[in-house]
């Protein structure tokens, strides 16, 4: 196994994180319309291998509204 450190974020960059994982262990590809365009992949990591770098305060209220969609005030 070869563990590497990777950084990622949500699409608007408000939530940023760092994770250590082994790509050889397997990943999954998201097929929603946004992720398909971004070629997004996901996997599961242990608590010790994940670090939230930014955005903790918005995680409980985060909601993505696609462009042109109704706003929720």
Reported as a single tens digit per residue, the pLDDT across 23-71 is 777 777 777 766 666 666 677 788 888 899 998 887 776 666 666 666 6
User: How many domains is the chain partitioned into structurally?
Assistant: 1
In this predicted structure, the answer to whether residue 21 has a pLDDT above a threshold of 90 is no
Q: What is the pLDDT of residue 14?
A: 86
Domain of 20, CATH number, reads: 2.170.150.70
pLDDT at 4: 84
The pTM for the full model equals 0.57
pLDDT recorded at residue 72: 59
The answer to whether position 17 is within a domain reads yes
Helices marked H in 1-73 — which ranges?
A: 33-38
Q: How many CB atoms lie within 10 A of CB 53?
A: 12
Q: Determine, yes or no, domain membership for 68.
A: no
Q: Is residue 67 domain-resident?
A: no
Tell me, yes or no, whether 35 lies in a domain: yes
Find the domain containing 15 and state its range. Answer: 4-58
């Amino acid at each position: 196994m070869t563990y590497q450190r990777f950084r990622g974020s949500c699409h608007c960059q408000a939530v940023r994180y760092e994770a250590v994982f082994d790509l050889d262990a397997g990943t999954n590809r998201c097929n929603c319309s946004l992720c398909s365009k971004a070629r997004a992949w996901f996997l599961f990591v242990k608590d010790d291998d994940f670090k939230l770098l930014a955005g903790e305060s918005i995680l409980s209220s985060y909601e993505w509204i696609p462009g042109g969609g109704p706003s929720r005030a």
